Structure 1
Amino acid sequence: MILTALIADDELIARQLIKSYLSDAPHIQIVGEASNGSDAVLQTIQHKPNLLFLDVQMPELNGFEALKELWPHHQPYVVFVTAYDKYALKAFEVNAIDYLLKPFDEERFRQAIDRVVSRIGPQPPSELTSLLNELLRDKADERETYLKRMLVKDGRRMSFVKLSDVLYLHSDSNYITLQTRQQGHIVYESLTLLEQRLDPSTFVRINRSYIINLDYVVEVETYFNGEYHVKMTNGQVLKWTRFYRDNIKAFYAKKE
Structure 2
Amino acid sequence: MQVEIKIDSSYTEPKVLILTNAVTDDVNNIVKRISECTPQIISGSKDEKIEVLEQAELIRIYAGAGKVFAVTNRGEYTLRLRLYEVEERLNPEQFIRISNSEIINLKQVCNFDLSFTGTICVKLSNGTTTYVSRRYVSKIKKLLGI
Q: Please, what TM-score do these two structures have when normalized by structure 1?
A: 0.40
**Aligned partners of 1:215, 1:251: CA distance in 2, in Å?**
13
Q: Deviation per CA, 1:20-52, whole angstroms, max 9, x where unpaired? A: xxxxxxxxxxxxxxxxxxxxxxxxxxxxxxxxx
Structure 1 equivalent of residue 36 of structure 2: 144
**Aligned partners of 2:40, 2:143: CA distance in 1, in Å?**
20
Higher helix content, 1 or 2: 1
2:46/2:76 contact within 8 Å kept? no
Gaps of 5+ in 1: 1-83, 85-139
Structure 1 equivalent of residue 66 of structure 2: 174
Cα 1:201/1:249, change in 2 over 3 Å? farther
Q: Which amino acid aligns with 1:194?
A: V
Q: Deviation per CA, 1:36-73, whole angstroms, max 9, x where unpaired? A: xxxxxxxxxxxxxxxxxxxxxxxxxxxxxxxxxxxxxx
**Which structure exhibits the higher relative contact order, with contacts defined as CA atoms closer than 8 Å and separated by 6 or more residues?**
2
2:42/2:86 contact within 8 Å kept? no
**Aligned partners of 2:68, 2:140: CA distance in 1, in Å?**
23
RMSD: 3.0
2:40/2:89 contact within 8 Å kept? no
Report the structure number with the largest CA radius of gyration.
Answer: 1
Structure 2 equivalent of residue 194 of structure 1: 86
Q: Which amino acid aligns with 2:80?
A: Y
**Aligned partners of 2:79, 2:48: CA distance in 1, in Å?**
14
* Percent identity (aligned): 23
1:202/1:214 contact within 8 Å kept? yes
**Aligned partners of 1:192, 1:227: CA distance in 2, in Å?**
22
CA positional deviation for 1:153: 3.3
**Aligned partners of 1:149, 1:249: CA distance in 2, in Å?**
30
Cα 1:232/1:252, change in 2 over 3 Å? same
Q: Does 1:215 find its partner at 2:110?
A: no
Gaps of 5+ in 2: 1-11, 13-31
Runs in 1 of length 4+ with deviation above 6 angstroms? none
Q: Does 1:165 find its partner at 2:65?
A: no
1:219/1:230 contact within 8 Å kept? yes
Q: Please, what TM-score do these two structures have when normalized by structure 2?
A: 0.67
